[in-house]
């Protein structure tokens, strides 16, 4: 642990069970196969749906003939964009979602949906797809971010005019947006520099790689009411989006989130659910739609590929005096915010007088880019943290000491605007410096690297219910679906507040008909925001419990305190009254006023920013260029770890995804603009034998914006690995890789070029 003593005064609590590691409430279902995921639901009379997808990267759709498919025995509905009219009323963002679900006159990437069928079984649906005749006029395409910015590049969305430039352009461009962040005087900063390092970097496109493909079961009746069972990170948002796109009333579409088989941001986007609902409406039958793995790769969720230029200037005493970046992020065929997010995170780890980041969001003929765990931050961090190591080397400084000297701290004006409160970058760096890993000896062909990462974290709209059963058990109802153990953490919080054992709480994720709106489980907000709402809902319950105790005792409620999970009568006058437990009060509830419940609805402001520093040892085979990660350590600030097992799990999982991104994973497009590796065989995510144990160190620098000091923990640790591995590879093989993934051919090429 770092020496920094965290200020916990605002929490004003000695935790009793927060920080323990009980088994998760959904665990038994998940180890026995009982848990129901997206593809595990069935409805009487359900049809099987399949989607026909464009084989072209860019094409005009001249005609779609569905007549033969419709006539095939067993086919109950065929839909095209004709069945999904534009009801968005000029909301271009919503129209983009609709157009991505089903092409409207043009196919914008290999895998873009053009039609869909629902049939009595999968075999019939497959035959029907083959009977749909689509006439395409193939157009020139572009899949590389730098190529797409060139003047002669084919224009993907003719209505797009670059935003964020003055004057507003008159001509269409693949650059959807320019954004800029920073402060100070960059030129003056570089003029004062003793050393300047300038480098350019590229990162390839990766996929979240959740093991569960997208799946849903949709049912729309002739009365216009509907139900949707779906694997999603945000069923309330899916409800609102699907209802708007289909012209349904929000309250009449009930969406239930299944157990989710991984999302990492990729299941925050609506990819196909409106199509399932449209098929169900047309067929008047329930419709099940699942993506194959190939469809997942071709038509959902990858993160941006990028191209980034970095320039850092420093003075001889080791202070960074100027830092600038230009970042180009591709968003697939639709505009996104990925470049902007990259630019906001670029310099967030450092305390800089003069800094600037300029980002371009660029369209290419690839699937719509989606959020992927701390979206856009890992690429910027790869570029920055690689360059930081180069600057430190040029100054003859230890890279950790150089970072410590320049790290952001409380009161630092962040490059993206706000001024930081208490933050963890300094403590994570100190912890790295003092970690035994940093002192362990290295063998031949081995090298060590480290890097830092930042993520904002998010709060957002949240709504939570607590209902007390007559036997004194507590039902906690939340609307943020559970991606990795949050039901355990939230149960701990409810038990802590109410002073009852963890085992007496059961946490459930409600469907959209049973609770107020909740934003997505994204931005590492699940435990932060639902935890906050749980605390306030539990305090609401305590108010009711005190009232009921007062009624049972026939004394004034002001004379009833709630201490250690029981009602206590205050004052000498009531010393004859024995304390009443939650169970005592619950048992009497039918005659003291009925059900005991608490509720909270909030916009959970105050998400605390999060920092991580990682250490990595690699061994590079000089003959093949293959890299093996031999030791890995994650240090991250959690604010307060509610359930440390699942905090460690987030750190380890994020690091593993980052390792895959750094070394292996990439979308490979052919000259024809088609994705060449849409499967787990050729898009290789880390397997068990690729990785070592991943050590973790949880720091707790409390977030003043949360009653327990919690910060989101899910995302930050995917940010440092690309650069940590790049720095380690550089130290192991003596070559610097500016192109991710650092696959064996790229490393071998660099080694041979250096000879």
Q: Which of residues 243-282 bind other proteins (CB under 8 A)?
A: 259-264
Q: Among 36, 254, 413, 506, indicate the residue that binds other proteins (CB under 8 A).
A: 36
Q: Can you give 253-300 as a three-state secondary structure string?
A: EEEEECECCCCCCCCCCCCCHHHHHHHHHHHCCCEEEECCHHHHHHHC
Binding status of residue 677 toward other proteins by CB under 8 A: no
CB of 387 to other proteins, least distance (A): 27
110 vs 695 by CB, closer to other proteins: 695
Determine the 3-state secondary structure of 669 from DSSP: strand
Query: Is there a contact between 259 and 289 (Cβ–Cβ < 8 Å)?
Result: no
Q: How far is CA 486 from the centre of its chain?
A: 15
CB of 253 to other proteins, least distance (A): 25
Query: Is there a contact between 416 and 181 (Cβ–Cβ < 8 Å)?
Result: yes
Binding status of residue 593 toward other proteins by CB under 8 A: no
Binding status of residue 668 toward other proteins by CB under 8 A: no
Phi, psi angle pair for 567, to nearest 5°: -80, 130
Binding string to other proteins for residues 471 to 510, with x set by CB under 8 A, is what? ------------xxx-------------------------
The CA-atom distances, in angstroms, between 335 and each of 208, 629, 684 are 19, 36, 28
Q: How far is CA 493 from the centre of its chain?
A: 23
Q: Among 326, 385, 619, 648, indicate the residue that binds other proteins (CB under 8 A).
A: 648
How far, in Å, CA of 482 to CA of 466, rounded? 17
Binding status of residue 626 toward other proteins by CB under 8 A: no
The closest of 751, 10, 740 to 382, measured between CA atoms, is 740
Stretch touching other proteins by CB under 8 A, among 105-113, 346-354, 356-364, 651-659 = 651-659
Q: Among 188, 211, 251, 573, indicate the residue that binds other proteins (CB under 8 A).
A: 211
b/e per residue 288-324 (b: at least 16 CB within 10 A): bbbbeeebbbbbbbbbbbbbbbbbbbbeeebbbbbbb
Binding status of residue 685 toward other proteins by CB under 8 A: yes
Binding status of residue 537 toward other proteins by CB under 8 A: no
C-alpha angle with apex 275: 273 to 277, nearest 5 degrees?
A: 75
Binding status of residue 532 toward other proteins by CB under 8 A: no
Binding status of residue 666 toward other proteins by CB under 8 A: no
Query: Is there a contact between 318 and 310 (Cβ–Cβ < 8 Å)?
Result: no
CB of 683 to other proteins, least distance (A): 9
CB neighbourhood size of 475 (10 A): 15
34 vs 133 by CB, closer to other proteins: 34
Q: What does R_g of the chain's alpha carbons equal in angstroms?
A: 27
348 vs 483 by CB, closer to other proteins: 483
CB of 698 to other proteins, least distance (A): 14
CB of 23 to other proteins, least distance (A): 5
Query: Per DSSP, which regions of 68-194 are E strands?
Result: 75-79, 106-107, 113-119, 133-138, 175-183
The closest of 740, 708, 741, 719 to 650, measured between CA atoms, is 719
| Angle of helix 377-395 versus helix 399-406 axis, rounded to 10 | 110
Q: Among 2, 6, 18, 39, indicate the residue that binds other proteins (CB under 8 A).
A: 39
Q: Among 3, 12, 441, 693, indicate the residue that binds other proteins (CB under 8 A).
A: 693
468 vs 675 by CB, closer to other proteins: 675
Query: Is there a contact between 453 and 609 (Cβ–Cβ < 8 Å)?
Result: no
Query: Per DSSP, which regions of 520-565 are E strands?
Result: 560-563
CB of 291 to other proteins, least distance (A): 11
Binding status of residue 653 toward other proteins by CB under 8 A: yes
Binding status of residue 719 toward other proteins by CB under 8 A: no
Stretch touching other proteins by CB under 8 A, among 132-140, 436-444, 645-653, 737-745 = 645-653
C-alpha angle with apex 654: 2 to 241, nearest 5 degrees?
A: 125
Binding status of residue 657 toward other proteins by CB under 8 A: yes
Q: How many residues interact with other proteins (rule CB under 8 A)?
A: 57
Binding status of residue 235 toward other proteins by CB under 8 A: no
Sorted by sequence, the CB contacts under 8 Å of residue 165 that are 6+ apart come out as: 178
- Give the tokens for residue 485: 């153990």
Stretch touching other proteins by CB under 8 A, among 59-67, 273-281, 420-428, 640-648 = 640-648
566 vs 717 by CB, closer to other proteins: 717
Binding status of residue 44 toward other proteins by CB under 8 A: no
261 vs 709 by CB, closer to other proteins: 261
Q: Among 645, 677, 736, 749, indicate the residue that binds other proteins (CB under 8 A).
A: 645
In DSSP terms, 217 is beta-bridged to 229, 288
203 vs 489 by CB, closer to other proteins: 489
Query: Is there a contact between 160 and 140 (Cβ–Cβ < 8 Å)?
Result: no
Binding string to other proteins for residues 14 to 33, with x set by CB under 8 A, is what? -------x-xx-xxx-xxxx
Query: Is there a contact between 213 and 238 (Cβ–Cβ < 8 Å)?
Result: no
Q: What is the DSSP letter of 121?
A: S
The CA-atom distances, in angstroms, between 47 and each of 117, 216, 221, 282 are 9, 12, 14, 12
CB of 31 to other proteins, least distance (A): 4
39 vs 321 by CB, closer to other proteins: 39
Binding status of residue 754 toward other proteins by CB under 8 A: no
Q: Among 44, 572, 681, 753, indicate the residue that binds other proteins (CB under 8 A).
A: 681
Sorted by sequence, the CB contacts under 8 Å of residue 128 that are 6+ apart come out as: 50, 69, 72, 75, 78, 117, 119
For tokens 């329930």, the residue is 286
696 vs 731 by CB, closer to other proteins: 696
Binding status of residue 655 toward other proteins by CB under 8 A: yes
β-pairing verdict for 113-119 and 75-79: antiparallel
Q: Which of residues 88-127 bind other proteins (CB under 8 A)?
A: 122-123
The CA-atom distances, in angstroms, between 197 and each of 311, 359, 486 are 6, 20, 43
Binding status of residue 619 toward other proteins by CB under 8 A: no
For tokens 């570089």, the residue is 190
CB of 212 to other proteins, least distance (A): 4
99 vs 259 by CB, closer to other proteins: 259
Binding status of residue 35 toward other proteins by CB under 8 A: yes
Q: Among 15, 190, 502, 680, indicate the residue that binds other proteins (CB under 8 A).
A: 680
Binding status of residue 226 toward other proteins by CB under 8 A: no
Binding status of residue 667 toward other proteins by CB under 8 A: no
Q: Among 5, 572, 688, 753, indicate the residue that binds other proteins (CB under 8 A).
A: 688
Binding string to other proteins for residues 153 to 192, with x set by CB under 8 A, is what? ----------------------------------------
User: Which stretches of the chain bind other proteins, using CB under 8 A?
Assistant: 21, 23-24, 26-28, 30-37, 39-40, 42, 122-123, 208-213, 259-264, 292-293, 483-485, 645-646, 648-649, 652-653, 655-657, 679-681, 685-691, 693-694
């Amino acid at each position: 642990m770092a020496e920094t003593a965290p200020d916990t005064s605002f929490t004003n609590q000695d935790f009793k069970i927060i920080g323990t590691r009980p088994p998760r409430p959904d665990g038994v279902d998940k180890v026995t196969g009982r848990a129901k995921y997206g593809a595990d639901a069935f409805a009487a009379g359900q049809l099987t749906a399949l989607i026909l997808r464009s084989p072209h990267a860019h094409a005009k759709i001249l005609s779609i003939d569905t007549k033969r498919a419709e006539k095939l025995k067993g086919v109950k509905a065929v839909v095209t964009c004709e069945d999904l009219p534009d009801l968005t009323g000029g909301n271009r963002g919503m129209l983009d979602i609709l157009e991505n679900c089903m092409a409207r006159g043009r196919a914008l990437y290999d895998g873009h949906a053009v039609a869909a069928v629902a049939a009595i079984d999968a075999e019939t649906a497959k035959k029907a797809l083959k009977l749909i005749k689509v006439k395409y006029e193939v157009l020139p395409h572009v899949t590389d971010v730098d190529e797409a910015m060139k003047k002669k590049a084919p224009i993907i969305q003719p209505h797009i005019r670059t935003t964020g430039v003055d004057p507003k352009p008159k001509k269409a461009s693949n650059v959807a947006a320019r954004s800029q962040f920073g402060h100070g005087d960059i030129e003056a900063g570089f003029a004062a520099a003793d050393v300047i390092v300038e480098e350019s970097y590229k990162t390839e496109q990766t996929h979240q790689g959740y093991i569960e493909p997208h799946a849903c079961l949709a049912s729309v009746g002739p009365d216009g009411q509907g139900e949707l069972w779906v694997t999603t990170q945000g069923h309330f948002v899916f409800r609102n989006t699907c209802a708007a796109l289909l012209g349904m009333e929000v309250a009449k579409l009930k969406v239930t989130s299944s157990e989710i088989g991984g999302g990492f941001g990729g299941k925050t986007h609506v990819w196909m659910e409106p199509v399932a609902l449209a098929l169900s409406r047309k067929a008047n039958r329930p419709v099940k739609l699942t993506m194959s793995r190939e469809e997942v790769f071709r038509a959902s969720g990858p993160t941006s590929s990028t191209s980034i230029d970095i320039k850092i200037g420093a003075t001889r005493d080791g202070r960074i005096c100027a830092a600038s970046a230009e970042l180009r992020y591709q968003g697939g065929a639709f505009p996104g915010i990925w470049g902007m997010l990259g630019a906001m995170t670029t310099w967030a780890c450092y305390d800089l007088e003069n800094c600037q980041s300029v980002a371009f969001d660029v369209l290419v003929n690839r699937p719509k880019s989606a959020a992927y765990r701390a979206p856009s931050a890992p690429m910027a961090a790869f570029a920055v943290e690689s360059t930081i190591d180069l600057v430190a080397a040029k100054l003859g400084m230890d890279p950790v000491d150089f970072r410590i000297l320049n790290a952001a701290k409380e009161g630092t004006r962040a490059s993206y605007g706000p001024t930081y409160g208490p933050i963890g970058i300094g403590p994570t760096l100190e912890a790295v410096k003092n970690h035994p890993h940093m002192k362990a000896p290295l063998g031949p062909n081995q090298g060590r690297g480290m890097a830092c990462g930042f993520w904002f974290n998010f709060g957002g709209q949240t709504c939570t219910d607590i209902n007390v059963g007559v036997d004194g058990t507590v039902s906690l109802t939340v609307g943020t679906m559970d991606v990795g153990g949050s039901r355990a953490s939230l149960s701990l919080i409810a038990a802590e507040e109410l002073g009852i054992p963890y085992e007496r709480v059961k946490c459930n994720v409600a469907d959209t008909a049973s609770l107020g709106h909740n934003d997505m489980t994204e931005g590492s907000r699940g435990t932060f925001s639902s935890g906050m709402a749980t605390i306030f809902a539990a305090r609401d319950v305590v108010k009711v419990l005190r009232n009921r105790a007062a009624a049972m005792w026939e004394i004034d409620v002001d004379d009833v305190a709630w201490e250690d999970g029981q009602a206590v009568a205050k004052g000498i006058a009531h010393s004859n009254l024995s304390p009443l437990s939650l169970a005592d009060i619950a048992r009497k509830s039918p005659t003291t006023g009925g059900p005991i419940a608490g509720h909270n609805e909030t916009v959970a402001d105050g998400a605390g920013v999060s920092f991580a520093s990682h250490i990595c040892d690699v061994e590079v085979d000089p003959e093949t260029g293959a890299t093996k990660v031999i030791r890995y350590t994650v240090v991250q600030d959690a604010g307060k770890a509610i359930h440390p097992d699942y905090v460690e799990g987030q750190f380890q999982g994020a690091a593993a995804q980052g390792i895959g991104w750094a070394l292996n994973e990439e979308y490979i497009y052919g000259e024809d603009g088609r994705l060449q590796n849409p499967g787990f065989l050729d898009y290789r995510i880390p397997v068990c034998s690729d990785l070592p144990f991943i050590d973790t160190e949880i720091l707790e620098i409390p977030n003043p914006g949360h009653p327990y000091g919690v910060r989101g923990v899910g995302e930050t640790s995917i940010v440092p690995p690309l650069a940590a591995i790049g720095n380690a590879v550089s130290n192991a093989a003596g070559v610097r890789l500016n192109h991710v993934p650092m696959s064996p051919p790229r490393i071998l090429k660099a080694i041979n070029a250096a000879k």
